[in-house]
Amino acid sequence: MICVMPFRTLALFTVFLLVGGCRSSTQDARPTAAHPNVVVFFTDDQGFGDLSCYGHPTIRTPHVDRLAREGAKLTQFYVAAPVCSPSRAALLTGCYPKRVGMQRHVVFPPDDHGLHPQEVTIAEVLRDAGYRTGCFGKWHLGHRKGLLPCDQGFDEFFGVPYSNDMAQFHRRKGTKYAFHLPLMRDDRVIEWEPDQRALTRRYTDAVIDFMDRAHDQPFFAYVPYSMPHIPIYASDEFRGQSARGLYGDVIEEIDANVGRVLSWLDAHALAEDTIVIFTSDNGPWLPFKERGGSAGPLRGGKGTNFEGGQRVPCVVRWPGRVAESSLCTDPMTAMDLLPTLAGICNASLPEVTIDGRDMGDRLVDLVRLPSGSKAFMATSAKTREDLDEFVFLYYTSKGDLAGIRKGRWKLLLPNELHDVEVDVGEAWNRAAQHEDLVRDLTSLAKELDARIESEARPVHHSDELVFDPRAPKDPNGQPFTMPNERRRAQ
């Protein structure tokens, strides 16, 4: 959807629509219907089929399943890119990666670029509305001076700045890979080559500590777990437990940690004042076979523009507002989160063009499934009439225009046409039967892409290191070396 975003009046209207009117609230008010807490879990490379509530036959995810049972499960939720950095840029800014200059694959340790600090993220939008904000997990939008989470609206950060495989420790066999992986708190490195078996738990510890300290201030916790991105690790408690093997162990450990956050919300009587979203940054990394995930019925995975690369699981819980056990088949995208959350949280939209849509009213009034139903496909009340208006551009992992979806039809350029409502596995190319449609969709895709390109804002380059990924130092200023016991343990 390419549009100049709705203005504050529409955001306010949406809030009234959702909660039937609300009072204005001060900067330090408790979370309320007008300022609910927000928790976004954003896993790394988890596929559409990798949750039991999305049909996986053996991976057990009771806590995410609980979110789905107490909220809405989305069946057509897209991320804006099939790889990490551009997908994260889109989620946090509400823009196609190309609009914010982040479309060209992922950020690597020697890179000097990242999301421009002048771009407005969800964290900045919510912080300006009085929220305390934290990022706990993998950032991957730049790691030099001016490019880290605390430069993008987060009050605090605990996590890794780039992917967990961009570490010398994991590439040492037969390679001369020069870079190391740091674990950071805010703008400081606190460890090098952290023990990845402990990361999911440690990120969650940090989330809980953050929520403990929020007191009466509404909070936004962005939780981009670095698992199940390769190399995958589970702690001793979970390793060997899943019939799905180590990948299943990893997902079940993530699920248990989601459960810890839900328990905290229950214990503090904040479940009804908190929107919880669980989704993934792109599809499964299929070449890794059993170490990668599953896209379920979808074709392809990470790095591809088939549905398996960009359609991901997404569950939204907001008790009392989003109907329990509901199913949302409206197409939505990660870019919609910023304007949707701004509308719900009574926050102002950025004063620049964004691509997402405020979908707050779609998350209510959904079809309610029978209690305990495992139904996978149903129709939300508004899907049919709105489906034809849905327009979404697909870009390759390097940022080139790859295709378009309009309504039920998806064209992968130049000549592969699928009705993805009927053919979710993209098995039957219908281009030969619909030559006019192929021509029209090609024109529309190129026109919209050209508009984004003409309006695109710059990526930011920084020449100042926060840390040297080639020559890490320990906290005493001495060169870092991996302890032998850690080498043996991992």
Minimum distance of Ca ion from residue 306's CB (angstroms): 16
Task: Say which amino acid occupies 206.
Answer: A
Nearer to Ca ion, 88 or 202 (CB): 88
* Positive/negative CA dihedral, 4, 314, 272, 122: negative
Minimum distance of Ca ion from residue 229's CB (angstroms): 6
| Residue 321 near residue 18, CB atoms below 8 Å | yes
Q: Considering only CA atoms, give the Rg of the chain.
A: 21
Token duo for residue 49? 């089929």
- The yes or no reply on residue 44 touching Ca ion (CB under 5 A) is yes
What CA–CA distance (Å, rounded) separates 150 from 30?
23
- The yes or no reply on residue 336 touching Ca ion (CB under 5 A) is no
Q: Which residue out of 56, 63, 113, 140 is catalytically annotated?
A: 140
Nearer to Ca ion, 44 or 155 (CB): 44
Nearer to Ca ion, 105 or 418 (CB): 105
User: Cβ neighbours of residue 354 under 8 Å, at least 6 residues apart?
Assistant: 5, 93, 94, 95, 99, 335, 338, 339
Q: Which residue out of 56, 63, 84, 113 is catalytically annotated?
A: 84
Strands (E), 53-145: 72-74, 77-78, 113-114, 132-138
Minimum distance of Ca ion from residue 292's CB (angstroms): 11
Work out which of 152, 164, 282, 310 binds Ca ion, going by CB under 5 A: 282
Q: Choose one: 282-290, 409-417, 422-430, 465-473; the region binding Ca ion (CB under 5 A).
A: 282-290
Would you tell me how many other CB atoms lie within 10 Å of the CB of residue 488? 7
Nearer to Ca ion, 224 or 472 (CB): 224
- The yes or no reply on residue 281 touching Ca ion (CB under 5 A) is yes
Nearer to Ca ion, 137 or 182 (CB): 137
Q: Choose one: 83-91, 335-343, 358-366, 455-463; the region binding Ca ion (CB under 5 A).
A: 83-91
Q: At what angle do helices 62-69 and 246-267 cross, to 10 degrees?
A: 50
- The yes or no reply on residue 50 touching Ca ion (CB under 5 A) is no
Q: Choose one: 76-84, 314-322, 333-341, 473-481; the region binding Ca ion (CB under 5 A).
A: 76-84
434 vs 335, 391, 401, 409, 411, CA distance in Å? Answer: 30, 18, 21, 11, 11
Minimum distance of Ca ion from residue 108's CB (angstroms): 14
Minimum distance of Ca ion from residue 103's CB (angstroms): 15
| Residue 140 annotated in active site | yes
- The yes or no reply on residue 45 touching Ca ion (CB under 5 A) is yes
DSSP code of residue 88: H
Minimum distance of Ca ion from residue 282's CB (angstroms): 5
User: Cβ neighbours of residue 182 under 8 Å, at least 6 residues apart?
Assistant: 160, 161, 189, 190, 191, 192, 467, 469, 472
Nearer to Ca ion, 84 or 148 (CB): 84
| Residue 135 annotated in active site | no
- How many positions of this chain bind Ca ion (CB under 5 A)? 5
Q: What 3 state SS string does 415-443 have? A: CEEEECCCCCCCCCCCHHHCHHHHHHHHH
Q: Choose one: 42-50, 138-146, 238-246, 385-393; the region binding Ca ion (CB under 5 A).
A: 42-50
Nearer to Ca ion, 84 or 206 (CB): 84
**b/e sequence 412-433, b meaning 16+ C-beta within 10 Å:** bbeebbbebbebbbbeeebeee
Minimum distance of Ca ion from residue 281's CB (angstroms): 4
318 vs 42, 292, 322, 413, 433, CA distance in Å? Answer: 17, 31, 5, 38, 44
Q: Choose one: 14-22, 44-52, 124-132, 462-470; the region binding Ca ion (CB under 5 A).
A: 44-52
Which residues are annotated as catalytic?
84, 140
Residues that bind Ca ion (CB under 5 A): 44-45, 84, 281-282
